Amino acid sequence: MMRALYLDCGMGAAGDMLTGALLELCPSPAEFLKEINAAGLPGVKVAASPSEKCGVVGTRIDIFINGEEEKPQAPHRHTHGAHTHSRAHRHGGLSDISEIISRAALPGEVRKNALAVYSLIAAAESKVHGVPVEKVHFHEVGALDAAADVCGVCLLLHRLAPEKILASPVHVGSGHVRCAHGVLPVPAPATAEILRGVPIYGGALRGELCTPTGAALVRHFVDAFAPMPVMRVEKIGYGMGKKDFARANCVRAMIGETEDIR
C-alpha cells in the first residue's frame, strides 16, 4: 500500500482552489497559515474561511496585499508590452518573481518546486506570444496573490508528503475570455500550452475553469491523470472558487492508501 493524493479537477483548477482543498487535508491549518504568512512574500497575508457552493461547505482562500484584498480582474491580462498601474502588475518578469520566491523563508524543496511551476508558465507565455522568456511579463499569474497560491500549494504538498499524486482529466470550461490581446478561446492559449499532453475536456459550462497557475501546478505535481483508483480515503478537502456555476465550483482532494500503482 502507498499514500496517495487524488485531485478531482471536474471543475478545473486554480491556485486558490488547490490551496483550499489541500489545506483541508492538513492536520494543522493554523500552522500552515502561520508559516506561509511568515515566509516574507512582500505585504502578503493569506486567510482561509468557510465557503459554501451548492450546499457543500469547503474552504475559500483570500489573499490580502498590504491589508487590501486582491480582487480578481479580467482573467488573462497577459501581455509582453507596457504595464498599467494596477497593483497586480507590480512584479512583471520571471526574474522578479524568482527573486521573491528565492528569498522566501520556506523549505528549499518548496522554493525549488515554486520556481519550477513559474518556469512552466513562463515557457508557455513565451511560446504563445513569440517573445523570449525574459521578456514575458506576468499579470494574473505574476501578481503577488498568485505567488502566494503557488508557494502555498508547494508548501502544503511538502507537508502532506504523498508518495503519489493522481488527478482526474481537467475540465477547462468553454467559450471565450477577454484579455489584453482581444478575445481568445477557452482554454486561453497559455493554459492550453501548459496542458499539452494532459487529458483535458470542455463542456456545456461557459467560462474559464482552469487558470495558467492551476494548470502549471497540476502539470508539475501530478504523476498520472486517470479515474480515481481504489483507495481507502482518510480525509477529503474542498477548495472553493470565487465564481458561482450550476455545479459546485471546487477542487476536491482526497488522501489515503492505495495499492502500489507505480
| 66: phi then psi, degrees, rounded to nearest 5 | 50, 40
Grid cell 502561520 is found at: 34
Q: What is the dihedral of CA 244, 247, 248, 250, to 10 degrees?
A: -90
Share of the chain above pLDDT 70, in %: 88
How confident is the model over 61-107, as pLDDT tens digits?
Answer: 999 988 877 665 433 333 333 332 333 445 468 888 899 999 999 99
Q: Which pTM was predicted?
A: 0.90
How confident is the model over 175-201, as pLDDT tens digits?
Answer: 998 877 789 999 999 999 999 999 999
pLDDT band at 109 (very low <50, low <70, confident <90, very high): very high
Q: What is the dihedral of CA 110, 111, 114, 118, to 10 degrees?
A: -170
The CA R_g of the chain, rounded to the nearest whole Å, is 17
Angle formed at CA 241 by CA 217 and CA 224, multiple of 5 degrees = 30
pLDDT value of position 65: 86
Q: How many CB atoms lie within 10 A of CB 166?
A: 21
Pairing mode, strands 68-69 and 176-179:
unpaired
Q: For residue 140, give the 3-state DSSP assignment.
A: coil
Q: What number is the average pLDDT over the span 16-30?
A: 97
| 178: phi then psi, degrees, rounded to nearest 5 | -90, 135
227 exposure class (CB count in 10 Å sphere: 0-12, 13-18, 19+): exposed
pLDDT value of position 92: 64
